[in-house]
Amino acid sequence: MATPGLRPAPPLPTSKDDINGTWKYLEWGVDSIMINLSAGLTLPTYMALYTSIHNFCTAQKAVGQTNLNSTHRGAHLLGEELYRRLNEYLKGHLNGVHGEMVKHVDEALLTFYIKEWKRYTTAGTFNNHLFKYLNRHWVKREMDEGKKDVFDIYTLHLVRWKEDMFGSTQNAVMDAVLRLVEKQRNGETIEQSKIKSVVDSFVSLGIDDADSTKTTLDVYRKHFEEPFLAATKNYYEKESAEFLAVNSVVDYMKKASRRLDEEKERVPLYLLSEIMQPLMKTCEQALIAKHAGVLRDEFQILLDNDREEDMARMYTLLNRIPEGLDPLRTKFEAHVRRSGLLAVEKVAQAGEAVDPKQYVDALLEVNVRYTALVNTAFSEDAEFVRALDNACREYVNRNQVCQKNSSKSPELLSKHADNVLKRSQKSSEEDDMEKLLNQVMTIFKYIEDKDVFQKFYSKMLAKRLVHGTSASGDAETSMISKLKDASGFEYTNKLQRMFQDMQTSKDLNKGYEEHQKNSLSGGDSGMDTSYQILGAGFWPLQPPTTNFAPPISLVKAYERFTHFYNDKHGGRKLTWLWNLCKGEIRANYVKMGKVAYTFQVSTYQMAILLLFNDSDTVTYDEIAATTILAKETLDPSIGIMLKARVLTAVPEGKTEPGTTYSLNYNFKHKKTKVNLNIAIKAEQKQEAEETHKTIEEDRKMLMQSAIVRIMKSRKTMKHTQLVSETISQIKSRFSPKVADIKKCIDILLEKEYLERLEGDELGYLA
């Protein structure tokens, strides 16, 4: 190559159309630009070069050309010759650059390549300005006519580099780049700007074949991105295999996470942003997908040992690859289910007598623990939430406690809710109550037999309202609101009507008090009474199972109220639920100091105790004859008073004919108010059995009404389709058995609501 500034400038061309003289002068100028980036050119010299190009391109005819028909054709030929000579010059120039480049390797090669690329493209910019007149006229006209091998002068420089330099040097340049990147991946410090410059050069060479004024990323993708991704894949496949051979899976996950972060950070430093997605995909394939099986095998160990941070890292890694998390979700669901079943087994040691609170706490503990894990380690992933819900639904509805009775979970949950909502000595703060109710709803969400919960809950709510044992009216309302949100208006309709009846009863009692004050009878003979009027269609209360003859004092009191009520509501009938009535009776015969004891008793117990107003001793037979209570009710009522030592018996402790009872004048108790109105276990068990029977009957009616409703809208339907549709409609209330649905279909066929058609078809009969 010539040393810049040594060759003197040739003389200016003597004639405008002298191609040889013009080119000789121009070649000297172009050479100065290519080698010394126009540093030696003064403005007058630059203008002289520009003018010579203008003069040559506007000459009337070309040297050696005759018979030209127009000045247009002459200008065309003159421009073509100038363009051809510049093209040949660039070829020669790049041949010299290439000869020097092959003498270098690795980083020295990159340094030379970048230096020459910058010099060459800068010179191309200068030359593009110098040949502006050629660009504006001859080049533009040729391109407009569709010539594919003609470019503006700057693009010509790029085309020549691509064809004369790039094809023979890009592999060596790319190898040097990849070695540099590998050094950085190994922890060495490199000159990142070198790689950035190479990337920029590859991008610049992407000239669109269809339109040279536009650029593409084809050259970059084929000659930089593809080998870069291939080298990345090989590097990480080798490194990960070697690391896993001598390190734990947990340590490998940490390293893989670091490597992925490093690659992501590498892109904005010296790579094109378009490579981000394919680069990360390549890294994920080599670092994660290739070893996904090993990672998944470790998941159960992490679960068993509560390694939350490591599980979060595994989730993040496997979430990067298609279907990477599916096996984890399956293992997670199975693990939660096992944990739930194990928790239930621990509280089920006492056989059937499972404590509702312990049972619900066991279910909650597992749910809360793994909900927290899903929220933190698994980023609240919807599929992990679904896996958790599936597992909870399984262990809540199908566990050791539910083996004999599949409806045990909703029954125990309703009992727990009853205990939460009852008034207790330890008054809960409002926030605590709300928290406890939310916990009930957490388990309620997983209950399949929601109709069982509803039935037991409504019975217990009825008792809380009747007996006034609710801890808070606001808490009761809040719970019903939560149930309504979860299961709809129909689910809680009767519960809300029960509250309305209680308010109506309060208003009625106020009216009755006013009536009594104005009455000539002067009230209820010193008795303080209140009455609750409960709509039979909304309250799940059973009439007494025994006959009962109330004491005359009670008879007079309720007859007065009945007369008052009938005057206000003619045509309504009052049915007295003596089994739910209660009262307080003052024991004036025995005192704590100067204060007489007060006994809280059922109406049956009140009737028994009032007999001792007329006699110091009363026999079992007299009690039975006077109260006409059935033995199943009478014996427990007496037994509670014997156990509390309110009464004494001869023979001692007996509840049978021939026994004589007396008041215990030596009665002592630490409180002046003594509760004798204690639920009888036998009655509770019987009530639970009757509730389950009611549930079964309600289910049959619900299934039959669903079947009729479906058939009425569809008119005809296949038997199997009808079964499926029925399940779909009522599964929110309970999980019906196919056999039970078939029985209901048979009943409706017998009642002629449905008819059998040909094949498996059923028809609706209006």
- What is the bridge-based pairing of β-strands 617-619 and 754-756? unpaired
Q: Residue 361: exposed, middle, or buried by beta-carbon count in 10 A (0-12, 13-18, 19+)? A: middle
Task: Give the pTM.
Answer: 0.77
Domain 581-678 classification at class level: alpha beta
Q: What is the DSSP string of 737-753?
A: -HHHHHHHHHHHHHTTS
Q: What is the rounded distance in angstroms from the CA atom of residue 722 to the CA atom of residue 727?
A: 9
Q: What is the rounded distance in angstroms from the CA atom of residue 232 to the CA atom of residue 181?
A: 9
Third-level CATH fold of 685-764: Arc Repressor Mutant, subunit A (1.10.10)
Low-confidence ranges of the chain (pLDDT < 70): 1-7, 14, 17, 38-40, 60-77, 210, 212, 350-352, 424-431, 520-526, 680-687, 766
Query: CA geometry: angle at 627 spanning 641 and 550, to 5°?
Result: 100
Closest CA to 614 of 623, 603, 624, 605: 623
The predicted pLDDT at position 612 comes to 92
422 backbone dihedrals φ, ψ, rounded to 5°:
-80, 150
The alpha-helical segments, DSSP class H, found in 58-188 are: 71-101, 106-130, 132-134, 140-144, 153-161, 167-185
Q: What is the CATH number of domain 225-301?
A: 1.20.1310.10
Contact between residue 81 and residue 64 where contact means Cβ atoms under 8 Å apart = no
Q: Give span(s): CATH 3.30.230.130, the chain.
A: 581-678
The predicted pLDDT at position 431 comes to 67
Q: Give span(s): CATH 1.10.10.10, the chain.
A: 685-764
Domain 302-497 classification at class level: mainly alpha
Angle formed by the axes of helices 43-57 and 71-101, nearest 10°? 130
β-sheet bridge partners, residue 582: 602
Q: Give span(s): CATH 1.20.1310.10, the chain.
A: 19-216, 225-301, 302-497
- What is the bridge-based pairing of β-strands 716-718 and 754-756? unpaired
The predicted pLDDT at position 1 comes to 38
Q: What is the rounded distance in angstroms from the CA atom of residue 395 to the CA atom of residue 506?
A: 44
> How many residues would you count in the chain?
766
Closest CA to 465 of 533, 511, 545: 533
The predicted pLDDT at position 10 comes to 74
The predicted pLDDT at position 414 comes to 94
Is the domain covering 19-216 a CATH 1.20.1310.10 domain? yes
The predicted pLDDT at position 3 comes to 39
Tens-digit pLDDT profile for residues 210-235: 676 777 888 899 999 999 999 999 99
DSSP 8-state class, residue 244:
H
Closest CA to 360 of 427, 417, 423, 422: 417
The predicted pLDDT at position 206 comes to 86
Closest CA to 392 of 338, 428, 355, 429: 338
Contact between residue 532 and residue 513 where contact means Cβ atoms under 8 Å apart = no
Contact between residue 431 and residue 382 where contact means Cβ atoms under 8 Å apart = no
